[in-house]
Structure 1
Amino acid sequence: MVDIGTERYTFSFTIRDSPAYFINVQSWGREEYIRSLSESFRVGDCVTIENPLIQSKEAEREEKFSPVTPSGYKLLLSENHSVVKTSSCYDTDTRLLSLLHLPVKDPQDYYSLGDIVANGQSLHGRVLNVLAAVMAVGEPKYFVTSDKRKGQRCEVKLYDETERSFPIVCWDNESIQLAQSWIPQETVIFASDVRINFDKFRNCMTATVISKTIITTNPVEAVVDVYTVEQLKEKALQSDGKLEPLHGIIYGYISTLDIDENVSRVLRNRCSVCRFIVNEASNTCAFCSDVSPEARSTFASFDILVDVTDHTGTLRSCYLSDCVAEETLACTVQEFLMLEEDQKTALKWQLLLERSKIYFKDKMEVFGFSSDRHMA
């Protein structure tokens, strides 16, 4: 029973339990209930929903503002009868976790950033899919509207092989929190159903995360091609010795990993704003000169040259950098600096010559590494 005149609040989210099926969930209730529910889990958490009401959805009306789902139904949560429980990472089925990296749309159905820019204002107001890498993540900006409502905004710069910098704007708390977890020059996103607009003030095209948008971080379908070293060398020869930017997988092993030599060959300073490597002589970033000096700083990160070998040959001078290097070495920069020389050598030989599934992007930068110990 609802008291006449009592304000009711709503909260919506989307759940998925298989590659093919996902469904929208809506909840209504008092402000305290909705606020508590919305703060009890995040995108990527696994949940169990007890006693939801199953209702047919009005697709044409509802999917104007909600993600398009393959189901003809939606779930309704009742404050008095429904319960949402979160699962710890230890209790979560790994098959569910793998869905986090599987796009909800056809992974080949997207616009390149260059296509969006080239089509210009003809795409203004369109809702479409984007596949791109993260170049920089801005700090959330907070504001108050003229009618005293609080708001927030976060802008992320994307790039791909067709466009160096393209802005996508997040306005809601969930997408802003998600964006803060992205690693510039490491994270790839597949954003389904973002709105494209022409920004008159900046005279450029932009994308906006809306209530229909579902973002897949580091989509597995974005990396589908498996190469041998020989095939990559042939591609380089076909393009006058320069390997064009591409994503793929090599099944091979790291054959050179000189982490026990001079530390200057292992670590480089990066900009804390955009995470690009800074000029060694001046210790300044060429891309963030417009940022105030107080907001600029640098930090040490891994930037290791490695050789990758398979049964067909060796690719020399590939980059193993930043967070991917930390995951591969299983230690942070600070922990690495505390190692003795013999410990660094032992760490090197743990990884050398071990058959692995190596993900690479652009011009042979490793962005994923899985050894046989972790491979199915």
Structure 2
Amino acid sequence: MANSIASKNFTALSNLHPNMANLKIIGIVIGKTDVKGFPDRKNIGSERYTFSFTIRDSTTHFVNATSWGSEDYIRSLSDSFRVGECVIIENPLIQTKDLEREEKFSPATPSNYKLLLSENHSTVKLCSSYEVDAKLLSLIYLPVKESCDYYSLGDIVANGHSLDGKIINVLAAVRSVGEPKYFTTSDRRKGQRCEVKLYDETESSFAMICWDSESILLAQSWVPQETVIFAADVRISFDKFRNSMTATVISKTIITTNPDTPEANILLNFIRENKVMNPLDDEIDNYLKESMNLNTIVDVYTVEQLKVKALKNEGKAEPFYGILYAYISTLNIDDETTKVVRNRCSVCGYTVNEASSTCTTCNKDSSGFKSVFLSFDMLIDLTDHTGTLHSCSLTGSVAEETLGCTFFISHRARGGLRVSVLSCKLADSIEPGSLCAAPAMLTATVCDKACATTGVNTDTGGSVHSLGAGLSTQ
């Protein structure tokens, strides 16, 4: 240890025992959860708050620590340190773990014990990196699982449904990191979401979803095409609307950034030698691929308000979401077939080149090209009493079953505003009348509950997850 803390007596995590008291522990934070509130059963009407983190002090030992207390105390304590920083914990209570219950939701640790921190007796102090031994700091680059214990992205795709719902480890490079999306649910709980695109030698694009602020904050530090991650204990799911597998960061997950392992170094060399070109349009379209929860969007717009908002957001690639009451004023289904129905790659969801019938996104070699699926791909006009939105995108399963609408800025769309329809259904006869000057014109609801958390895939042939409905007009 550095001289400034070498004289202090710290208890090693390997020596923990429930009978110990007045402990002082030092470790590096390798994982952390968000603050959560729960009803206090002892004080009806009030809440207790908690958060957990995982600390490590050697290559073989790390433990989970949980703190309970008032909202102010817990939020202040959580904000005082981040993943990758060293802390000193004083006077924690040592308890034996309930393996079956706790490791279902918390990171698996080699220790039989856990630390409980109380507001009145325990303290957590942040250490400066200059005070800490370099060996302790280097532990942040060591995965919590064996370096060879992981699935490649190609393995995950190949196993498909057999891995649905399973918790596994993944080693991959970061292709892109989406902007965090913040929302409020129908019961007024605030949430957030961020989609990270991963890739490796076997797959060019694979989605990993972060739902908690701690993992989103960590993801924002990753440099695309220069960062490798080892994600221990992520949940794998099959998204039928994307027609692909996805990974989700959960409370058990611990992510190691740029791990110092032979396998990670091989992958790092690969991504440095094979830089991926990401066209601007594909990056913009990624916003539409993000899953959203329809119940979280409550803002109602007119066409005119959307155009004004688009002008204010000019130059930004972020989407914005809302509810629009309008009718479909143009729906041209008599156009050339290739403009209404397109082939898309069943692996990545991108449009297949019509001339060569190959996917240039995930398979440059046409001989290795996999299967395709048909996808609606058409443009419609939406009109209300304030104006018309031209050339709105209606694609994939969205054209058949949805309940929402997404708006976002695109330089390639008319007027800088690109609209993608995620839902279309008949409007309630009373609802539009309370919102518009010409209720008789409003015969369909576009974006009746525009989205913010479950499964919105547009240009990739997807739809609003679990909220499908056919297009209805009068």
TM-score, normalised with respect to structure 2: 0.49
- Pair 246,213 (structure 1): closer, same or farther in 2 beyond 3 Å: closer
* Aligned counterpart for 1:133 among listed residues 145, 167, 173: 173
Distance 1:172 1:27 in 2: 18
Aligned to 1:41: 81
Q: Secondary structure of 2:155's partner? A: helix
Alpha-carbon contact 1:277-1:285 (below 8 Å) kept: no
Shift of 1:64: 0.2
TM-score, normalised with respect to structure 1: 0.62
Distance 1:34 1:208 in 2: 26
Aligned to 1:212: 252
Distance 2:68 2:156 in 1: 38
Aligned to 2:455: none
- Pair 13,66 (structure 1): closer, same or farther in 2 beyond 3 Å: same
Aligned-residue identity in percent: 68
Alpha-carbon contact 2:129-2:137 (below 8 Å) kept: no
Q: Secondary structure of 1:220's partner? A: coil
Alpha-carbon contact 1:198-1:206 (below 8 Å) kept: yes
Aligned to 2:140: 100
Q: Is 2:315 the counterpart of 1:294?
A: yes
Q: Is 2:17 the counterpart of 1:22?
A: no
Aligned to 2:92: 52
Shift of 1:221: 1.1
More strand by share: 1
Q: Secondary structure of 2:205's partner? A: strand
Shift of 1:276: 5.7
Distance 1:117 1:291 in 2: 19
Q: Secondary structure of 1:100's partner? A: helix
* Aligned counterpart for 2:238 among listed residues 168, 178, 198: 198
Q: Which runs of 4+ in 1 moved over 2 A?
A: 2-6, 222-225, 245-249, 275-278, 284-296
* Aligned counterpart for 1:188 among listed residues 228, 231, 248: 228
Alpha-carbon contact 1:111-1:128 (below 8 Å) kept: yes
- Pair 29,291 (structure 1): closer, same or farther in 2 beyond 3 Å: closer
* Aligned counterpart for 2:203 among listed residues 144, 163, 168: 163
What one-letter code is carried by the residue in structure 1 that aligns with 2:200? Answer: D
Aligned to 2:161: 121
Distance 1:128 1:246 in 2: 19
Alpha-carbon contact 2:226-2:268 (below 8 Å) kept: no
What one-letter code is carried by the residue in structure 1 that aligns with 2:59? Answer: P
What one-letter code is carried by the residue in structure 2 that aligns with 1:98? Answer: S
Distance 1:73 1:202 in 2: 41
Alpha-carbon contact 1:65-1:211 (below 8 Å) kept: yes
What one-letter code is carried by the residue in structure 1 that aligns with 2:261? Answer: E
* Aligned counterpart for 1:4 among listed residues 43, 51, 54: 43
Greater Cα shift, 109-118 or 287-296: 287-296
Alpha-carbon contact 1:223-1:248 (below 8 Å) kept: no
Aligned to 1:63: 103
The structure with more radius of gyration: 2
Q: Secondary structure of 1:178's partner? A: helix
Cα deviation 1:170-226 (Å, max 9, x = unaligned): 00010000000000000000000000011122121100000000000001014588x
Distance 1:87 1:97 in 2: 11
Q: Secondary structure of 1:8's partner? A: strand
Q: Is 2:194 the counterpart of 1:154?
A: yes
Aligned to 1:240: none
Shift of 1:118: 0.9
Distance 1:44 1:188 in 2: 16
Aligned to 1:85: 125
Shift of 1:110: 0.4
Aligned to 2:149: 109
Distance 1:60 1:69 in 2: 13
Shift of 1:287: 4.0
Cα deviation 1:139-188 (Å, max 9, x = unaligned): 00011111110100000000000000000000001000000000000000
What one-letter code is carried by the residue in structure 1 that aligns with 2:283? Answer: C
What one-letter code is carried by the residue in structure 2 that aligns with 1:150? Answer: K
Distance 2:85 2:176 in 1: 25
Alpha-carbon contact 1:27-1:34 (below 8 Å) kept: yes
What one-letter code is carried by the residue in structure 2 that aligns with 1:294? Answer: G
- Pair 123,217 (structure 1): closer, same or farther in 2 beyond 3 Å: same
Q: Secondary structure of 1:193's partner? A: strand
Alpha-carbon contact 1:276-1:285 (below 8 Å) kept: no
Cα deviation 1:329-365 (Å, max 9, x = unaligned): xxxxxxxxxxxxxxxxxxxxxxxxxxxxxxxxxxxxx
- Pair 136,144 (structure 1): closer, same or farther in 2 beyond 3 Å: same
Distance 1:183 1:168 in 2: 15
Distance 2:251 2:198 in 1: 20
- Pair 179,24 (structure 1): closer, same or farther in 2 beyond 3 Å: same
- Pair 288,10 (structure 1): closer, same or farther in 2 beyond 3 Å: closer
What one-letter code is carried by the residue in structure 2 that aligns with 1:102? Answer: L
Aligned to 2:115: 75
Distance 1:214 1:125 in 2: 18
Q: Secondary structure of 2:80's partner? A: coil
**Structure 1 segments unaligned to the other structure (5+ residues):** 226-244, 250-274, 279-283, 297-376
**Structure 2 segments unaligned to the other structure (5+ residues):** 1-40, 288-313, 318-474
Shift of 1:290: 3.4
